[in-house]
Copies of this chain bind each other. A is one copy, B any other.
């Protein structure tokens, strides 16, 4: 079997775990953060720079690539790996989240969803079978089932309806899948209702997916509500499969989820914020447009190997003030490097049986400086 989750270590005092997820395009050391390459590129990063951040696996989007350039064009251009020049593992999101966040006039029926493209208003159908077919044409290593996401807070009936549909659609996706070199992950829905989350997890386990995601979070709830859901649901996911928390989040969220047993993450937070001059560091976040950085000769972080940290804060500020592309480029590289270093640190701490110490040290560092941005955001 091309896909295998190898559990390497359990932290003694938390549910954190270290492992290795094997894919046809190589292994991923977990817990791991996947940079978001929505349209077949992590915005602003030439592929060598992306590799240099330490990322092992990237995410791309079914919804966007099927609209433009179209999955058949990606296939003709050699599939997603050759298309974007990334030789490592790729996970594609199914489009479920974009139906909820980005598409216009989305109507969900049992057969599938109908929506208008955010690019040209075209009317488009996305069924579970079509979501699988697109992802097979793209040729990602991991495909996601098409799920039904609802904004929180929501009525219990709406959450239950979406959760049940997600399970039915998961089965249809599984039946439609044909590629042996592509793993299909199930997605647990159920809003903030722990009982429903657990039920959904148990139902999906019966389908024996090679990996499981927790979806429908970071969509309006508080961080504490999200952590509570993870507290309730993660132990109901099989220990021998990777566990992926979709679209989350802030550095703090990652560590909270790691300590609850999550293995995989993706989020636009480091990249989108980087483009907007917000830098993540072990001392918290910096807004690089602030005048205090104007003549600061120090790098963002002394020990960071990224190209932004070969320059001064003053230079980085100048790039943003002067609307130079290089500002977003360098800060994207830095923030992704920061996220990768954070998770590499988490993996080392788990290996040493000291994740809780690591977690506390990071929190103490962040609280030293400005506040973090209030809210995690998923891919637009």
Q: Residues of A at under 8 Å CB distance from B?
A: 39-41, 43-49, 64, 68-69, 73, 76-78, 82-85, 294-295, 297, 307, 310-312, 314-315, 317-319, 321-322, 324-326, 328-330, 333
Contact = CB atoms under 8 A, between A and B. Distances in A.
A325 B314 contact: no
B330 A46 contact: yes
B318 A69 contact: yes
Contacts of A317: 69
A181 B91 CA distance: 54
B48 A307 contact: yes
Given A77-B312, A85-B310, A319 B46 contact: no
Nearest to A44: B325
- State the number of copies, please: 2
Given A39-B318, A39-B324, A82-B312, 6 more contacts: A40-B315, A46-B326, A46-B329, A76-B297, A77-B312, A329-B329
Contacts of A319: 40-41
Contacts of A46: 46, 49, 307, 326, 329-330, 333
B73 A314 contact: yes
Nearest to A69: B318
Contact of A77 (B68, B76, B310, B314): B314
Contacts of A312: 77-78, 82-83
A329 B333 CA distance: 14
Contacts of A333: 46
Contacts of A39: 318, 322, 324
A344 to B, nearest CB: 22
A326 B68 contact: no
Nearest to A315: B83
A46 B322 CA distance: 16
